[in-house]
Amino acid sequence: QSSVQAYGLIDVSAGQFQDAGAIKDKTVASGKMSTSYFGFKGSEDLGGGLKANFAIESFLRADSGSAGRFNGDTFWARNAYAGLSGSLGSVTAGRNTTSLFVSTLLFNAFGDSFGFSPSIRHYFTSGTVTGDTGWNNSISYSSPKLGGLSAQLQVAGNDGKTLGRRYGGNVLYFGGAFAGSFAFQKVKEGTTAGTTTWQLGGSYDAGFAKFFGQYGKVANDTTNVDYKLGEVGASVPVGASGKLLAEYGKLSVKGRKTVSLGYDYAFSKRTDGYVVYMNDKLPVVDAGNSFALGIRHKF
């Protein structure tokens, strides 16, 4: 009768973690390669190709046994929605992961890594894009795949007083060796600055290596400062289960330059181990140097 599935990911690592200009944190950490979470989801066949879908997903910090990505984060911050899907696509309402975040993680060598991905760092933790990687009070539409093409559109209501209304989306192409995306989002001014962001991303799998590139702009519509973000990377297979990872990114105006190098070993499709080095530079302050040995387990 019940079709609910429990799933998630626990990522723990030991090492030194240091952002540019920050202290060295030598510790056991959680979610550096992928943010740890657990959740429930389910799908019900309503007949005629129509399905009802839901998901509730909760970030957690395994290092301290805390819920959320930070103290004060909402419990179901990763996703919390219900909706319908069919031959015309999928609609979900509630809290939805943004299209911009999905495009960002798909086209860089370190994926969704808040610890080590230069792309994630420059778009989401450097004071550029305003608004979270998930939008409250939002409706998200995902098109069906046509050839290798699909698109996503999202609108969100005024998020209390912090953010104004928001809309965004992306177009994704996956076909053969090449894949690409264009993402766009506009966050209107609330008590937080409004921003307009676009991003082009692509990857090419040459067999001996998969290459990644991203270029984007974040325009702060409140301060009228424009940030330009460029990122390049590669993933190089080493044997049947290993990959060398490299990504470099540069964020204009802030002058942030971040490079990450890693080796990832897949114990299985669900479990991998990794070693990573990251150098994170900002003007004036000392560069940050991070290195970590970790394990990431999906369930």
Stretch that binds its own copies, among 117-125, 130-138, 171-179, 187-195 (CB under 8 A): 130-138
Q: Is 64 helix (H, G, I), strand (E, B) or coil?
A: coil
Stretch that binds its own copies, among 60-68, 118-126, 232-240, 253-261 (CB under 8 A): 60-68
Q: Residue 52, interface with its own copies (CB under 8 A)?
A: yes
84, 53 contact by CB (below 8 A): yes
**DSSP designation for 63:** T
Stretch that binds its own copies, among 56-64, 190-198, 227-235, 284-292 (CB under 8 A): 56-64
Q: Which of residues 145-204 bind its own copies (CB under 8 A)?
A: 156-158
Residue 36 or residue 126: which is nearer to its own copies going by CB? Answer: 36
Q: Residue 242, interface with its own copies (CB under 8 A)?
A: no
Stretch that binds its own copies, among 28-36, 112-120, 225-233, 242-250 (CB under 8 A): 28-36
Please tell me the distance from the alpha carbon of residue 89 to that of residue 47, in angstroms, as a whole number: 15
Binder among 21, 62, 167, 189 for its own copies (CB under 8 A): 62
Binder among 33, 60, 120, 163 for its own copies (CB under 8 A): 60
Backbone angles phi, psi at 101, to 5 degrees: -65, -40
User: Which amino acid does the sequence have at 144?
Assistant: P
- The position carrying tokens 């177009």 is 171
Please tell me the distance from the alpha carbon of residue 77 to that of residue 254, in angstroms, as a whole number: 28
User: Which amino acid does the sequence have at 212?
Assistant: F
Please, what sign has the CA dihedral across residues 111, 116, 120, 124? positive
Please name the helix (run of DSSP H) or strand (run of DSSP E) that holds residue 172, with its range, or none: strand 166-175
**Contacts to its own copies by CB under 8 A:** 2-8, 10-14, 26-30, 38, 40, 42, 44, 46-47, 50, 52-54, 56, 60-67, 74-84, 93-95, 134, 136-139, 156-158, 267-268, 270-271, 295-297, 299
